Amino acid sequence: MGASDQAQSIESIVHGHEVHVWYVMADRVNDHRLLSTYYELMSSAERERNGRFVFEHGRHEHLVTRALIRTTLSRYHPTVDPRAWTFTTNAYGRPQLAGPPCEPRLRFNLSHTDGMIVCLVAVDREVGVDVENVVRRQADGLDIADQFFSATEVAELRSLPRSQQRDRSFDYWTLKESYIKARGLGLQLPLDQFSFHLGRDVPIRISFGPEIADDPASWQFSLQRLSPSHRLALAVRRYEEPDLAVRNWSVVP
């Protein structure tokens, strides 16, 4: 990202016009000097956790994830050293910023899958993101649907040709994950009590069963392919404004 692009991106997110998706192909981050720099950005607790991973792949992914969130937050607040950010979790385990206090107040959400790490950033609004590797993950669409989807989603899925069911099941799954992560309540939200409605050339909609008190009109959703293998879903709480723009930034080491 050039300096002018970065200034524009900060301005647009500060004024609530955009949400930003930052992503990195973790397997491509293999420069030892860069990885050493990333290690120095981590807190002592993060380093301790990193050392507990049994496999090198897990240590590497965790290291790149922590570097991604710390450096990304400092893009919006350049006076804050990436090492200075502190984090906590809510009662259901959702990571969130603890300090230092900064304006505008940033919100973020992280997701990772085989080969990719994603960070979604917005200002003072609930956000959630999920990314899945749809090539490496083997799953039968109807098996997933019967376990986790609403009756409306199952019926819609069964109405599709068999050749389309696996793709649609991933659409539903990633969207559900993004909404749950945005709400920050974990599986306190029953997966079969909210439904996504997908159609060609129309916005993605959500509806709720009686067990979930929420306003469908206050949510904006997006489905994307960040690579031939990776499907992304994001959920963003909107208030009075119209649809927010989604800007993607690929982090190139």
- Tell me if 106 sits within 8 A of 122, measured CB to CB: yes
Per residue in 53-102, pLDDT (tens digit) is 999 999 999 999 999 999 999 999 999 999 999 999 999 989 999 999 98
Return the pLDDT at 5: 56
The pTM of the full predicted model, rounded to 2 decimals, is 0.92
What is the CATH number for 45? 3.90.470.20
How far apart (Å, rounded) are the C-alpha atoms in residues 121 and 36?
Answer: 25
How far apart (Å, rounded) are the C-alpha atoms in residues 57 and 102?
Answer: 34
- Identify whether residues 29 and 101 lie together within a single domain: yes
β partners of residue 129? 234
- Identify whether residues 132 and 230 lie together within a single domain: yes
Tell me whether residue 5 is in a domain: yes
- Identify whether residues 116 and 138 lie together within a single domain: no
- Identify whether residues 132 and 231 lie together within a single domain: yes
Domain extent at residue 139: 126-237
Task: Indicate the number of domains in the chain.
Answer: 2
Tell me whether residue 249 is in a domain: no
Radius of gyration of the chain (CA): 19
Phi, psi of 230 (to 5 degrees): -115, 125
Domain boundary among the residues 67, 93, 122 is at 122
251: its two tokens: 């982090």
- Region of 248 (left: φ > 0; alpha: ψ -120 to 50; beta: rest) is beta
Domain boundary among the residues 75, 100, 122 is at 122
Return the pLDDT at 250: 87
Tell me whether residue 27 is in a domain: yes
pLDDT in tens, the chain (253 residues): 445 555 556 677 767 789 999 999 999 999 999 999 999 999 999 999 999 999 999 999 999 999 999 999 999 999 999 999 999 999 998 999 999 998 888 999 999 998 899 999 999 899 999 999 988 766 656 677 888 899 999 999 999 998 898 889 999 999 999 999 999 998 889 999 999 999 888 999 999 999 999 999 999 999 999 999 999 999 999 987 778 999 898 887 6
Helix (H, G, I), strand (E, B) or coil at 109: strand
